[in-house]
Structure formats: structure tokens, C-alpha cells
Amino acid sequence: MNRSRLDLHGAPYFFVTPFFLLFAVFGFFPLVYTAWVSLRSWDLTGDAGFVGTANYQRLLADPDFWNAMLNTLGMFLLSTVPQLCFALVIAGLLNRPIRALMLFRLGVLAPIVTSVAAVAIVFGQLYGRDAGLVNGVLGLVGIGPIDWQAGKGSSWIAVASMVNWRWTGYNALIYLAAIQAIPRDLYEAAQLDGAGAVRQFRSITVPLIRPALIFTVVMSTIGGMQLFTEPLLFGQGDISGGSLRQFQTVAMYMFEQSFQNFDYGYGSAIAWMIFLLTVLAGVANALIARRLKGGI
């Protein structure tokens, strides 16, 4: 009897313990250690001692940090909003009875399994200034060649297109799984009431997959704040994100300060600022979702 009770109450804790142990070692400890380093003056010569909030005060007055933050937010908006909208439309199409349905569903996963380096090479060719396909297409409608890496807005669009291409299919599959959990009776009742496909999608599908929508928004926010690989490869490994830092993200700026300038204390302060902004974005998403839920 006692053994059964122990199995009933103790087994769940036993199974989840490995996750929390690994999180403590590889997640919580680095977080706390980074916070400790951010309060010290620490460079390549070693730890020079406690400096309090000096690194954070320097960060708030650093124009390069705010430029990187602006770049991050710009690329985040250009990638996340179209990405989730396209994913929702694709999920709606994949939920319809079409030929070769499984092939299309597997096809949306192709960008995820493609190497990021390969993606960067392909998109680098597409956005080439002199012989790029994108400039070639724009030339057909009378638009002159664009140096995509030179401008802030053009480089944001190029990097955002790489992110959109990689992650739209992933989010579409999440939406598709949520859509297929909706009872078919609701759609049949809507059809009897004369609701068309668009009205069903807007009034039934979107409200009932709200948890999946919130999840993808939160995950996209986290990914957007940590955007690093795509802009780095777009700039062919230039950690400064172009000659005028036009597409340097805040994660790239943290890497530059920590591992190129070897200013570990300042780099840790940037890392903690990214963490705090990500938490704030997550809390804002949760509050907005709760407000929308209460309004419906």
C-alpha cells in the first residue's frame, strides 16, 4: 500500500527531476553567473573588481547598443508578422482535401532541415547587387539595382526573408495540428448557417487555435531577440553587421563586445538586457492574450 502511494506521488517528481537538474547546470547557473560578471570590470587581463551598475549605465548611453536594438526590432517585425500570417494561411490550405497532401505537409519542413549556411549562400546570391535574381526581377518593373547590404531597410528585408523562409513551415505545422483538433461539427454547423470558408476561418479557426497562436508569438519573440546567425552569414561573417552597423543585432553586438573586444563584464550586461527585454515581451504577450480572451 505504501509502495503504491509512493509510486503514485513520487513517480512524477522522479521523471521531471532530470530536466530540472540539467536546467540548473546549463540554464540557471549560467544566468546567475552572467549576472555576477555583469557587475564587474572583466576583460582579457582578468577580473578588475566590482563596479556595481557601471556596465548597465554605460549600456544605456551607448548609441551602438540602441542602434543594434533598433535593428533587432525592425528585423523582428519584418520577419515575425508576415511569417505567422503566412503560416496561418498555409495551415488552412493544408487542412483542406487536396492531392498529394502528405507531400505538401512534408515539403513545408524542408527549410528547417536545410543548413543555415546553405540558406545564407542561396539568399546571398538572390540579393546580389549586380547579378542577383531579386534585382533582376525588380529591373523588369523599372526599379534600379539595390545594394541590399548597404541600406538599413534593405538589409532588414533581406535578413527577414531568410528568417521567414526557414520558420514559416514550422509554425504552419503547429497551426495545422491545432486546427485538426477543432471538432468538425462546428464547421458543419457553420456551413448550414451559410458561413463561407473565410468566415469559418475567421470566426471558428482563429479563435479556437488561440493557444497555438500565443505559443508561436512567444517563441518568435524569443527567437527574434536572439537573432544572430542569419544576419551574421548575410554579412559574410562580419560581426559588426555592415560598415555602418546597419544590420547588426543586439545578439551580434553582445558577441562583438564579449569575444572580439574581450569586455566580458559589458558583454554580460548586454546579455542580461536581452534576457530582461525578452521576459518583458513575454509578459506583454501574456497580458495581451489574457485581455483578448476576456474580450471574446
Cβ 54 vs Cβ 65: under 8 Å: no
Residues 60, 72: Cα–Cα separation, whole Å: 16
Q: What is the pLDDT of residue 1?
A: 52
How far is residue 64's CA from residue 253's CA, in Å, rounded to a whole number?
8
Rounded to two decimals, what is the model's pTM?
0.85
Share of the chain above pLDDT 90, in %: 35
Question: Is 246 a residue whose pLDDT tops 80?
Answer: yes
Dig out the grid coordinates for 238 from the structure. Answer: 562580419
Answer for the pair 36, 50: CB distance below 8 angstroms, yes or no. no
* Res 252: pLDDT: 95
pLDDT band at 3 (very low <50, low <70, confident <90, very high): low
- What gap in Å lies between CA 234 and CA 258, rounded to an integer? 21
3-class secondary structure, 48: strand
237 falls in which pLDDT band (50, 70, 90)? confident
Mean pLDDT of 220-245: 88
61-116 pLDDT, tens digit each: 999 999 999 999 999 999 888 999 999 989 888 888 777 778 888 888 888 888 88
Q: Mean pLDDT over all residues of the chain?
A: 87
Take residue 176 and report the three cell numbers written for it. 495545422
Residue 122 has pLDDT above 80, yes or no: yes
The whole-angstrom separation of Cα 132 and Cα 22 is 46
Domains and CATH numbers, the chain: 5-53 (no CATH), 61-294 (1.10.3720.10)
Tell me how far apart the alpha carbons of residues 203 and 19 are, in angstroms, rounded to a whole number: 39
Query: Do residues 72 and 250 lie in contact, with contact meaning Cβ atoms separated by under 8 Å?
Result: yes
Cell triple for residue 174?
A: 503547429
Residue type present at position 253: Y
* H-type alpha helices, 95-193: 101-107, 110-113, 116-126, 133-140, 152-180, 184-192
Q: What would the grid cell of residue 250 be?
A: 543586439
**What is the CB-side half-sphere exposure of residue 73 using CA atoms within 13 A?**
9
User: What pLDDT shows up at residue 125?
Assistant: 86
Which are the contacts of 23, defined by CB distance < 8 A and separation ≥ 6?
Answer: none
Given the C-alpha cell 458561413, which residue does it identify?
A: 195
Per-residue pLDDT reduced to its tens digit, 23-43: 999 989 999 999 999 999 988
Give the model's pLDDT for residue 5. 66
pLDDT tens digits, one per residue of 125-176: 888 888 889 999 988 888 888 889 888 999 999 999 999 998 999 999 999 9
